[in-house]
Amino acid sequence: MTVKTLKIDGKDVAIERGATILQAAKEASIPIPTLCFLEGVTPAAACRMCLVEVEGSSKLLPACVTEVAEGMVVQTNTPKLQEFRRMNVELLFAEGNHVCSICVANGNCELQDMAITVGMDHSRFPYRFPDRHVDVSHEQFGIDHNRCILCTRCVRVCDEIEGAHVWDVAQRGEHCFIVSGLHQPWGEVDACTACGKCVDACPTGAIFRKGNTTGEKERDRAKLAFLVTAREKHQWTR
Amino acid sequence: MTKTIVIDPVTRIEGHAKISIFLDDAGEVSDARFHVVEYRGFEKFCEGRPFTEMAGITARICGICPVSHLLASAKTGDKILAVKIPPAADKLRRMMNLAQITQSHALSFFHLSSPDFLLGWDSDPATRNVFGLIAANPDLARAGIRLRQFGQMVIEKLGGRKIHAAWTVPGGVRSPLSPEGRQWIVDRLPEAFETVNLALGLFKGMLDEQLKNEINVFGEFPTLYMGLVGPNGEWEHYDGKLRFTDSQGNIVADGLSEDDYHAFLGEAVEPWSYLKFPYYQPLGYPDGIYRVGPLARLNVCDRIGTEAADRELQELRDRAGGVPTSSFLYHYARLIEILACLEKTQELVDDPDVLSSRCRAHGGVNQLNAIGVSEAPRGTLFHHYQVDENGLLEKVNLIIATGQNNLAMNKTVAQIAKHYIHGTEIPEGLLNRVEAGIRCYDPCLSCSTHAAGQMPLHLQLVAADGQILDEVYR
Ligand code: SF4
Ligand code: SF4
Ligand code: FES
């Protein structure tokens, strides 16, 4: 196994070839904020929270998909990155309709946590108040597009872990939204096995269990990573 | 396509009020109007949301009585699920409503109204508030503040938060009372009883002396009364059937279900106010004027059903020589209701059910049109939801207590104006009396602002030809 050595925030790190900067940082106990990244499924680099500065690159690079290289020098927490991350979270809030006080995920939401982490206390951008809908046609679950941050975690867990591929992203740019089936009501999509993995995966209150009210959403995130390791390593207990 | 909806201002009715007083050709008061000049958008923006969110959304209508909306909303939700909630949930919800009525009435009496009684109508407005009360009668003020705190703490012990506890849900409640919470209530109840008895004694004394005249001027007129009553005609605050009685004490209608509210409640609209004017349909508008809230609840019931409160109710009726019809007696009724709430809380804490974790029933969307009712501190509250087969709201109608007292509030203002205004000027001290006339009903519009010493109020005196003769602002 070839090992690559690099410097993250001045710390020397050695890690196998093919690993990402995010993995290397984790190894070295250097936290990098992430939102769309989910252990166990392919990274999508959709949220841009994990952007880092790499010496010699004029662009900021997403740590979750950028492979380490020999001699790389990475900065994860410069004032520029801090400012950028905060702005990014503000944009996520301004883009959708996030009314935390009545949200099922209130108090248990990765977007909320992220806002606190980056020190966001208000949005400098005007809220867009987009006209989005709620689909509660499914027997057990619902999706409220107002709270969706388009991280595509649901798309990936459903496709890669459950193998049902219920979800996709429709449209482009600001009109993007998550669709079930070929844009059918979720309750009419036969492929859905009602396994609930997307509920566990969704970082916000966008996908929820029906009947849950304010702040009642619970998720078993560890289950997803467990399922992946269980299949790969044949360890079926946790 | 993106669309921006602006609802501005988003307020139900807390805040600003305007009153116009009209004079006839002879310069005497002919009429008065109490305008609510703010628009409410709640019913509109709930559309499209899952009904399970309604408790959380509507509780935001008011910071003083969110529990009322939580309850009415949860009861409407029960009907959409078509479930019968577990007995423990019923008792726990009742307990929260009792606490809610206690804290809200305590706020109305001690913080908002008692400064007028104790410091005088014409005393300096700068100190005619709860701070002035603290300076003048620190023991009473402290007891009142602690009584309100008692109610709020019971709410917190049950729901985990004082305000906007998202604890009542369609199907029941989320969690039972903890044994520690129960013990806390048991320990604090005696002090609460003591405070309400003290206030009752004090207020009755004042009714015999300095407040004797107010009874005849502050909303003394016959109307109907509406409220929930239990299966045997007893005082009710959470469930039961609706009853209308008149000022002679006759039952006008009984055993009415909230499901049929369209048949007996009409809602009139006037161009000068955003607040609708509900009336008793069979008598038409405006003859179908009725009052809701503490006094109405005491007037419609046969008895309260607890010992001390029933004694007080009898005394109230004896003093009035029959049915008490003056809105000034709302204050008195509030104190009696606090006593009733404490007695009922006492009964409930001794019930093992309140510690039971079987307190939530689950179900799907089984009914598309549902109406829930409960008694808020200020009166009967209706929530009406229409949902699609998945449970998304298509239509929402909320009938709020303050609205139902709208006609009576207008009449009260007119009565006070007629009594005090004879000429083209607004006499000093009138503003406060008019304000106090409205405050008898403890409407939400005073709650957010008056506690800080003033309620934004704008009074206009209008001549027969439409000319504005005088106006005062506060
Ligand atoms: S998803 Fe998270 S950020 Fe969005 S409304 Fe819900 S709690 Fe708030
Ligand atoms: S529904 Fe949830 S998991 Fe799916 S894209 Fe939106 S935020 Fe991500
Ligand atoms: S975590 Fe890397 S882009 Fe979202």
pLDDT in tens, A16-29: 999 999 999 999 99
Q: pLDDT of B305-315, one tens digit each? A: 999 999 999 99
pLDDT given at position B40? 54
Contact A101 B56 (CB under 8 A): yes
CB of A101 within 8 Å of a chain B CB? The answer is yes
Size of interface A-B (CB pairs under 8 A): 52
Contact B53 A128 (CB under 8 A): no
* Burial zone of A55 (CB within 10 Å; 0-12 exposed, 13-18 middle, 19+ buried): exposed
**Is residue B357 one of the residues assigned to a domain?**
yes
Which bin fits B9, alpha (ψ -120 to 50), beta or left (φ > 0)? Answer: beta
* Number of domains making up chain B: 2
Q: What is the CATH number of the domain that holds B214?
A: 1.10.645.10
pTM score: 0.83
Report whether residue A76 contacts ligand 1, using a CB cutoff of 6 Å.
Answer: no
pLDDT at position B116 over 50: yes
Distance B17 CA to ligand 2 centre (A): 45
Domain limits for position B12: 3-39+411-473
Q: pLDDT of A206-217, one tens digit each? A: 999 988 888 888
- Return the ligand number nearest the Cα of A115: 1
Which numbered atom of ligand 1 lies nearest the CA of A204?
Answer: 1
* Burial zone of A108 (CB within 10 Å; 0-12 exposed, 13-18 middle, 19+ buried): middle
What is the overall mean pLDDT for chain A? Answer: 93
Q: Which of A122-131, B365-374, B403-412, B462-471 has the lowest mean pLDDT?
A: B462-471
Distance A144 CA to ligand 2 centre (A): 9
Higher local confidence (pLDDT), A229 or B390 = B390
pLDDT given at position B6? 26
Distance A35 CA to ligand 3 centre (A): 6
* Whether residue B93 sits in one domain with residue B33: no
Give the ipTM. 0.76
* Whether residue B165 sits in one domain with residue B35: no
Q: pLDDT of A134-175, one tens digit each? A: 999 999 999 999 999 999 999 999 999 999 999 999 999 889
pLDDT at position B446 over 80: no
Residue A214: its chain B contacts at CB < 8 A? 53, 55-56, 166
Provide the CATH number for the domain formed by A3-77 in this structure.
3.10.20.740
Which numbered atom of ligand 2 lies nearest the CA of A36?
Answer: 8
* Whether residue B25 sits in one domain with residue B172: no
pLDDT given at position B223? 95
Q: How many other C-beta atoms can be found within 10 angstroms of the C-beta atom of residue B276?
A: 18
Note whether B111 and B146 are within 8 A (CB). Answer: no
* Whether residue B194 sits in one domain with residue B105: yes
pLDDT given at position B448? 31
* Whether residue B434 sits in one domain with residue B358: no
pLDDT at position A112 over 90: yes
- In this prediction, residue B2 has a pLDDT band, given cuts at 50, 70 and 90, of very low
Q: How far apart are CA A183 and CA A186, in angstroms?
A: 8
pLDDT given at position B69? 86
**Is residue B115 one of the residues assigned to a domain?**
yes
pLDDT given at position B8? 27
| B53/chain A closest Cα distance in angstroms | 6
pLDDT at position B447 over 50: no
pLDDT at position B416 over 80: yes
- Are A3-77 and A84-220 in the same CATH fold? no
* Whether residue B8 sits in one domain with residue B143: no
Q: How far apart are CA B347 and CA B102, in angstroms?
A: 15
- Return the ligand number nearest the Cα of A46: 3
What is the overall mean pLDDT for chain B? Answer: 85
Q: Which of B1, B2, B393 to mutate to test the interface with A (most CBs of A within 10 A)?
A: B2
Measured between CB atoms, which of A133, A142, A214 is closest to B48? Answer: A133
Closest among B13, B8, B9, B7 to B401, alpha carbons compared: B13
CB of A125 within 8 Å of a chain B CB? The answer is no
Per-domain residue ranges for chain A?
A: 3-77, 84-220
CB of B56 within 8 Å of a chain A CB? The answer is yes
Task: State mean pLDDT over B234-261.
Answer: 96
Domain A84-220 is in which class? alpha beta
- In this prediction, residue B64 has a pLDDT band, given cuts at 50, 70 and 90, of low
Q: How far apart are CA A97 and CA B223, in angstroms?
A: 46
Q: Which residue is closest in CA terms to ligand 3's atom 3?
A: A45
